[in-house]
């Protein structure tokens, strides 16, 4: 496989994390997003369409169906089958499948899946939600020390910041 902007060192597809969170790291409430911000959903769709999305079972349940125009990889140890999506039993299995599919991989939650992806992701797309929201699900603790800002989109309800890892893995 040849290297391209969509591929990292070694020719593997790039891995990016996409998340919307409050300043306190809240990402979810009772199995859904605590906010309704169409402009952020549009950015999410523009970023991920045509590529691979990797998610946990509960995030998939919150969406209700596979995201169209994307390869959907869902992690679960309990589901027997999932029409329209690739079912994988571990993060490593999901990642290996994503690599085989050959498109950039967007890790879209939830908490444990983000935790597994943080040490190996090349890029973070974080929508910092302007308002505070209560929630029962948070992004894992992490430090922005190793990340540099490469782009920002300002919106009244959120600020989308793209970070790239300072030192390649």
Ligand X SMILES: NC(=O)c1ccc[n+]([C@@H]2O[C@H](COP(=O)([O-])OP(=O)(O)OC[C@H]3O[C@@H](n4cnc5c(N)ncnc54)[C@H](OP(=O)(O)O)[C@@H]3O)[C@@H](O)[C@H]2O)c1
Given a contact cutoff of 8 angstroms between Cβ atoms, the answer to whether 135 and 35 are in contact is no
Query: Binding to ligand X by residue 79, rule CB under 6 A?
Result: yes
Binding ligand X by CB under 6 A: which of 7, 66, 111, 128?
111
Which residue minimizes CB distance to ligand X?
A: 110
Query: Binding to ligand X by residue 75, rule CB under 6 A?
Result: yes
In whole angstroms, give the CA distance from residue 129 to residue 74. 26
Binding ligand X by CB under 6 A: which of 7, 25, 39, 58?
58
Given a contact cutoff of 8 angstroms between Cβ atoms, the answer to whether 27 and 19 are in contact is yes
- Which are the contacts of 84, defined by CB distance < 8 A and separation ≥ 6? 65, 66, 72
Shortest Cβ 146–ligand X spacing (Å): 21
Binding ligand X by CB under 6 A: which of 62, 66, 101, 130?
62
Query: Binding to ligand X by residue 159, rule CB under 6 A?
Result: no
Rg, the chain, Cα only: 15
Binding ligand X by CB under 6 A: which of 71, 137, 158, 161?
137
Alpha-carbon dihedral angle through residues 70, 71, 74, 75, given to the nearest 10 degrees: -130
Interface with ligand X (CB under 6 A)? 19-21, 27-28, 31-33, 55-59, 62, 75-79, 89-91, 108-113, 116, 137
């Amino acid at each position: 496989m040849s290297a391209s902007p969509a591929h990292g060192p070694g020719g593997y597809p790039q891995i990016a994390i996409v998340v919307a969170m409050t300043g306190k790291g809240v990402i979810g409430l009772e199995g859904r997003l605590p906010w309704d911000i169409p402009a952020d959903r549009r950015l999410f769709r523009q970023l991920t369409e045509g590529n691979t999305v990797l998610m946990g079972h509960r995030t998939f349940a919150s969406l209700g169906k596979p995201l169209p125009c994307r390869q959907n990889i869902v992690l679960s140890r309990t589901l027997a089958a999932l029409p329209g999506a690739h079912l994988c039993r571990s993060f490593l299995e999901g990642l290996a499948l994503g690599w085989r599919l050959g498109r950039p991989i967007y890790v879209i939650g939830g908490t444990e899946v983000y935790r597994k992806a943080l040490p190996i992701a090349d890029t973070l797309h974080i929508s910092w939600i302007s308002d505070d929201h209560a929630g029962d699900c948070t992004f894992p603790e992490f430090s922005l020390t190793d990340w540099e800002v490469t782009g920002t989109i300002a919106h009244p309800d959120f600020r989308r910041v793209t970070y790239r890892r300072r030192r390649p893995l």
